[in-house]
Amino acid sequence: MVTNELTTSRATPLQVARARGRVRGRLILLGPAFVAAVAYVDPGNFATNSAAGARYGYLLVWVVVVANLMAMLVQTLTAKLGLATGRSLPELCRERLPRPVNRVMWVQAELVAMATDLAEVIGGAVALYLLFGIPLLPGGLIIGTAAFAVLALRSRGYRAFEITIAVLLGVIVLAFAANLLASGSDPGSAMAGLVPRLQGTDSVLLAAGILGATVMPHVIYVHSALTRDRIPAADDSERRILFRGQRTDVLLALSAAGAVNLAMLLIAAASFRGGGPGGADSLEGVHAGLGQTIGTAAAFGFAVALLVSGLASTSVGTYAGEVIMQGFLRRRVPLLLRRLVTLLPALAVLAIGLDPTRALVLSQVILSFGIPFALIPVVAFTRRRDLMGNLVNHPLTTAAASLVAVLVVALNAFLLWQVVAG
In-domain check, residue 3: no
In-domain check, residue 195: yes
In-domain check, residue 9: no
- Is 120 within 8 Å of 42 (Cβ atoms)? yes
In-domain check, residue 26: no
Tell me, what CATH number does 227's domain have?
A: 1.20.1740.10
Total tally of structural domains belonging to the chain: 1
d(CA 56, CA 261): 15
List, in order, residues 6 or more apart from 167 with CB less than 8 Å away: none
In-domain check, residue 27: no
Question: In whole angstroms, how far apart are CA 44 and each of 81, 122, 395?
Answer: 27, 10, 34
In-domain check, residue 34: no
- Is 364 within 8 Å of 44 (Cβ atoms)? yes
Q: Give residue 36's pLDDT band: very low, low, confident or very high (50, 70, 90).
A: very high
Residue 1 has pLDDT above 50, yes or no: no
In-domain check, residue 291: yes
d(CA 419, CA 422): 5
d(CA 20, CA 355): 52
d(CA 37, CA 415): 24
In-domain check, residue 168: yes
The per-residue pLDDT for 97 is: 92
266-312: pLDDT as tens digits: 999 998 876 555 567 788 989 999 999 999 999 999 999 999 999 99
Euclidean distance between the first and the last CA atom of the chain, given in angstroms as a whole number: 75
86-136: pLDDT as tens digits: 999 999 999 999 999 999 999 999 888 888 888 889 999 999 999 999 999
Alpha-carbon dihedral of residues 91, 95, 97, 98, nearest 10 degrees? 120
- Domain region containing 237: 43-421
* Residue 237 buriedness (CB in 10 A; 0-12 / 13-18 / 19+): exposed
309-324: pLDDT as tens digits: 999 998 898 888 889 9
The per-residue pLDDT for 382 is: 97
List, in order, residues 6 or more apart from 400 with CB less than 8 Å away: 73
184-193, 195-204, 363-372, range with greatest mean pLDDT:
184-193
For residue 337, the tally of other CB atoms under 10 A from its CB is 8
List, in order, residues 6 or more apart from 262 with CB less than 8 Å away: 49, 61, 64, 65, 68
219-243: pLDDT as tens digits: 999 999 999 878 887 788 889 989 9
